[in-house]
A and B are shown apart, each in its own frame.
Chain A
Amino acid sequence: MSPAVRAPHRICHGVDDVECEAAGRRGSLPGMLPGLMVEPIHSDAVPPLRQRWLAAGDVRLRLHEWGDPEATPVVLCHGFFDHARGFDRLAPRLASRYRVVALDARGHGDSDWADTYMWPVDVLDIVRVLRDLGRPAHLIGHSKGGGQATDAATLEPDRVRGLVNLDGFGPPDDQGFKRPGAPDQSQMTIAQRCGEYLDRRRKADQRTVWPAYPSFEDLVARRGEQNPGLDSEWLRYFVYHAARAHDDGWRWKADPQMVAGGFGPFKPEWIGPSWQQLRSPMLAVIGSKPDTWGPLPEKLLQRRLKYVQHLERVTIEGAGHFIHMQEPESLADHVLEFLGRA
């Protein structure tokens, strides 16, 4: 299936005045240089047709839309350190039938930065989008966005029809996902780990602005190291929308404060039981190729999904964790078929 609409290729950086002002206010960033490079195009990606702001208290969320505004809405929620434009290959494939609304989570993409980040606040942001749409919607989330979309559906059963969770079933039970090179904390007590969290917070005031990468290509190379499964054409497209050009180089849009992280009593084993109130049917999607961020071992995955009352599962061949970026065509076929029944 080919994307329904192709938008004209926009020249240069898609930053409007309001966004510049937001970046300046939130991050005290130096002024941006317009027109540094031509926006990359991707043979299979379609930029959103409409963009708008949604207020969430004193933070503004950026929404990106495709498809007929009168059609049944589908809300897309991205993962940690990603952004809504990562759906530029999946969204147009759904837009033939639906009004597709992709949300930049707070601190990500073109949404405002907050001063702190916590899971329930992100979930309430998704609820705000659902309420704003004013009619029941389908909900699709990837990774962290998949877990948060599932929580939002659990919280607001009357506003959510079908739910598609793209490899967003939480971290392993013990220490969470391990980044290569991350220190081993398995022998530490929770109080000792908390001491390390406090050390990170002490340094957090030095991380209010990213160091600038000298060139766009450096940024692409950096993300490529973390995501070897993404092809170079897509990486350039995806990274372009994940960053902004400044007078001294390129910086990620995502808030560097998120790196310092949070701390709290949450346990991954709570995830499964917390979904027993979920009423929406869930299509649980994983990729066939394991990478750093997923999928969970099958036994653990089954434990996480044990309480979901209406569950369907599918494994997308050839995809790793970033299913919607790696195999959008095959994923869209499954999603459209599922949502047609949900």
Chain B
Amino acid sequence: MKLRHGRVDIVLHERDAGRSDCLPLLLLHQVGGSSADWPERDESLGWPGPVHALDFAGHGESAHVVGGGYYPEYHLADADLALEAIGDRAAVAGAGGGAYVALLLAGARPDRVPAALLLPGRGLAGGGDAPEFSELDMPSFDEWEEQVSADARRYRPGTDRGVSRCERDLRPLDYVKPFAEASNRLLLSRDLPVAEAPGWLRMAADAECSEMAPAGLGEGIRRLAKRTA
């Protein structure tokens, strides 16, 4: 299904029709990945309802953003349009940068997202908890170009290299906290490196609505299904 975000066409894939009386699941991939990152249902996804996988702008089959101004909250709006398209109520699972977006979506749309599962993946850390004013938090022109080129080599072919910005965005704790607190339920996969994790993830883990989910994608999704049944 094609969705229109401003002038950008983004693509939402229906991976499994599932039982129509069950809550849909929205899958959000890692930075530089795509909807093709997720296994087919019969491999490990045990979600009873419809399963939809989004290609964020600049990824997979979605169009590139002219001008390259990618940031997590722009992808958040991609995800919110997908949420609207599948009935405006869904559980969300996100990997890496997609996990951060899943947390933001769960906190900004608590009336529509009963639970979110956070999984490891590229773009999980972000660019730190606060700007470092002693050295500018923005890389110089040349440094930026170098970083982007290095990042882009690890992305799926066809990914817009500009999405690399979403690996270095600031995620301050006092910014993340209200999202974590507003969420209904956050499930953190045991695969996440919570102990040495970026601050935003520790913040999410500390929220009252948080709990650990079993390791592995399939087990995590099953726990998510149980919690939203």
Which one of B6, B8, B69, B182 contacts A189 once the chains associate, using CB atoms below 8 Å?
B182
Contact A205 B69 (CB under 8 A): no
Q: Which residues of B contact A58 (CB under 8 A)?
A: 66-68
A48 to B139, CA, bound (A): 33
Contact A198 B67 (CB under 8 A): no
B171 within 8 A of A: yes
Q: Which of B7, B81, B104 has the most CB of A within 10 A?
A: B7
> Which of A111-119, A233-241, A280-288 interfaces with chain B?
A111-119
**Distance between A179 CB and nearest chain B CB, rounded to angstroms:** 21
Considering the complex, which residues of chain B in the window 164-180 have a beta carbon less than 8 Å from any beta carbon of chain A? Answer: 165, 169-172, 175, 178-179
A136 within 8 A of B: no
Which one of B66, B133, B172 contacts A59 once the chains associate, using CB atoms below 8 Å?
B66
Q: Which residues of A contact B165 (CB under 8 A)?
A: 120
| Dominant secondary structure of chain A at its interface with chain B | helix
Contact A204 B6 (CB under 8 A): yes
Across the two chains, which residue of chain A brings its CB closest to B138?
A120
Which one of A26, A201, A262, A276 contacts B80 once the chains associate, using CB atoms below 8 Å?
A201
Given contacts A123-B138, A194-B108, A208-B7, contact A116 B182 (CB under 8 A): no
A257 to B109, CA, bound (A): 23
Given contacts A191-B107, A195-B109, A257-B7, contact A155 B67 (CB under 8 A): no
Contact A115 B136 (CB under 8 A): no
Q: Which of A116, A192, A263, A276 has the most CB of B within 10 A?
A: A116
Contact B69 A117 (CB under 8 A): yes
**Distance between B114 CB and nearest chain A CB, rounded to angstroms:** 16
Q: Which residues of B contact A257 (CB under 8 A)?
A: 6-7
**How many residues of B sit at the interface, in one of the four size bands?**
35 or more
Given contacts A257-B6, A264-B73, contact A57 B67 (CB under 8 A): yes
Q: Which residues of A contact B67 (CB under 8 A)?
A: 56-59, 106, 112, 114-117, 121
B40 within 8 A of A: no
Which one of B65, B84, B138, B169 contacts A115 once the chains associate, using CB atoms below 8 Å?
B65
**Distance between B182 CB and nearest chain A CB, rounded to angstroms:** 4
Q: Which residues does A use to contact B, with CB under 8 Å?
A: 26, 56-59, 106, 112-118, 120-121, 123-124, 127-128, 131, 151, 154-156, 189-192, 194-195, 197-198, 201-202, 204-205, 207-208, 257, 260, 262-265, 267, 270, 273-274, 276-277
A–B Cβ pairs within 8 angstroms, 20 of them: A56-B67, A59-B67, A115-B67, A115-B69, A116-B67, A116-B71, A118-B71, A155-B138, A189-B182, A190-B175, A191-B181, A194-B104, A194-B108, A197-B108, A198-B77, A202-B77, A202-B84, A205-B4, A263-B76, A270-B131
| Closest 4 pairs between A and B when the two form their complex, measured CB to CB | A114-B67, A201-B77, A116-B69, A265-B175
Considering the complex, which residues of chain B in the window 58-117 have a beta carbon less than 8 Å from any beta carbon of chain A? Answer: 65-74, 76-77, 80-81, 84, 104, 107-110
Contact B66 A198 (CB under 8 A): no
Given contacts A201-B77, A205-B6, contact A116 B104 (CB under 8 A): no
Counted as pairs of residues, one from A and one from B, with CB atoms less than 8 Å apart, the total is 138
Considering the complex, which residues of chain B in the window 149-173 have a beta carbon less than 8 Å from any beta carbon of chain A? Answer: 162, 165, 169-172
Q: Which residues of B contact A118 (CB under 8 A)?
A: 69, 71
A139 to B171, CA, bound (A): 31
Considering the complex, which residues of chain B in the window 136-151 have a beta carbon less than 8 Å from any beta carbon of chain A? Answer: 136-138, 140-141, 144
Across the two chains, which residue of chain A brings its CB closest to B76?
A198
A198 to B165, CA, bound (A): 20
**Distance between B20 CB and nearest chain A CB, rounded to angstroms:** 24
Which one of B131, B136, B141 contacts A127 once the chains associate, using CB atoms below 8 Å?
B141
Q: Which residues of A contact B181 (CB under 8 A)?
A: 191
B190 within 8 A of A: no
Across the two chains, which residue of chain B brings its CB closest to A264?
B73
Given contacts A198-B77, A201-B5, A276-B133, contact A155 B69 (CB under 8 A): no
